[in-house]
Amino acid sequence: MTPPAKRGRYGGTPFTAIKGETGTMGRPIADFPGFVFEGAGALLCALVFVFLYYQSRIVFFGLWAAASMVRLLVAFLGYEAVRLQMWAWLAAYAALGFVFALVLTETGKRSAIAGHAAGWKGWPNVLRAASVVPIAIMPAAQSWPARLDLYPLYQGLLLSLVFFYNFLMLRTNAGLGAHIFRVALLLEAAAPFWQRSLDHPGYYTFAVHCSLAFGAMAMWSENQALRIRDLATELAGARREIDHTVDLDRLTGLLNQSALAARVEACPVFDGVVAVCDMDHFKEVNDRFGHLVGDEILRHIGHLIRSSIRQEDEAFRWGGDEFVVLFHHQPPGVASPRMAEIEARLKDFQVRGFGVLPISFSWGTADGHGRPLRDVLDEADSVMYGRKRARATSQRATSL
């Protein structure tokens, strides 16, 4: 009576030891359903990674796409090697398994997330050298069942190291997608130790492929969301900078007349002191020394005003040689000494090539007391012009 056949599996997987189903003649029988699921999983991963590489041009995804395509071919060659039991198929299966190990080693080295990990720089060379070992030991087996057990065993152990290396290179990413991807890599690394006891390892390998594909898509989605947040932050900063630049007077560096008009419209009640100042006889300065000197004087006044007020206060160039300062939440006794100090410092102003050129300007202040900013500004402007007229009258009387 013929004894019952010993049950087992022969699949085309490149990273698990191939255990075979042997018939009554002792010939291994390939596991076609396992091959179908193995190939379907590899094809799914290949399509997903090709899509991700096309969308992102990230080398990490491109290498995984190449590895998945090679894996699909390896599954087919492994199945045919078991089915036909010919050296040509087994040699091709071993050669592509070698290529698969090399590509996976490169994916870890080129990891887009943690490829800079200093402690693992030498491992790619070690894994490349170890990839030759399964091929080197294959001729040692004398029978087909031994060959189909010996080579996949060493190849599976090698690829366990390769998958674990990829797992380590992704350790700095904290996203959900990376966690799923890393779990799938750990399952791949442990495959030689748990798949040998399964009736149909291809089914479980398909599930691991699906986890890799889902994790990769999640990583890409998280990366895109992060880039969108970064771009939104940069855009908001650029808008603030543009808005700030639009409101600036390029010559003096102070806020311009449009900014002052907007502030008047947006401030129905003002709490603080408004100061308005205007240079005396600025037209004569331009006529005598030229507009370049006039611009230098205005630039100097703008710098002097900015350095003389607090950060929360605001200074504007209202017209050609007229300036406005808003002292927010300040009592009237603070603004007048500040303006007098600026006027005193301008008396020692020096023009390059001309020496000391005393600059005088008239100024006036008005207290807000919760009044509309427009009214306070008009009052300060009236006080300034009253002081200017009084100074002009005094100068004429002195000259007589």
Longest dimension (CA), the chain: 145
Q: How many CB atoms lie within 10 A of CB 318?
A: 20
Q: Are 43 and 105 in contact (CB under 8 A)?
A: no
**Residue type, position 155, single letter:** Q
Structure tokens at 90: 């087994």
Query: By C-alpha distance, which of 360, 326, 327, 317 is closest to 342?
Result: 360
Let me know the angle formed at the C-alpha of 85 by 79 and 201, rounded to the nearest 5 degrees: 30
Whole-number Å distance between alpha carbons of 43 and 294: 75
Whole-number Å distance between alpha carbons of 382 and 365: 9
Whole-number Å distance between alpha carbons of 224 and 56: 9
- Residues with catalytic annotation? 321
**CA distances for 326 relative to 207, 258, 279, 338, 368, angstroms:** 69, 15, 18, 12, 10
Q: How many CB atoms lie within 10 A of CB 183?
A: 15
Query: By C-alpha distance, which of 16, 20, 18, 24 is closest to 7?
Result: 20
Residues 6+ apart with CB under 8 A from 56: 220, 223
Give the start-end residues of each E strand in 186-290: 272-279
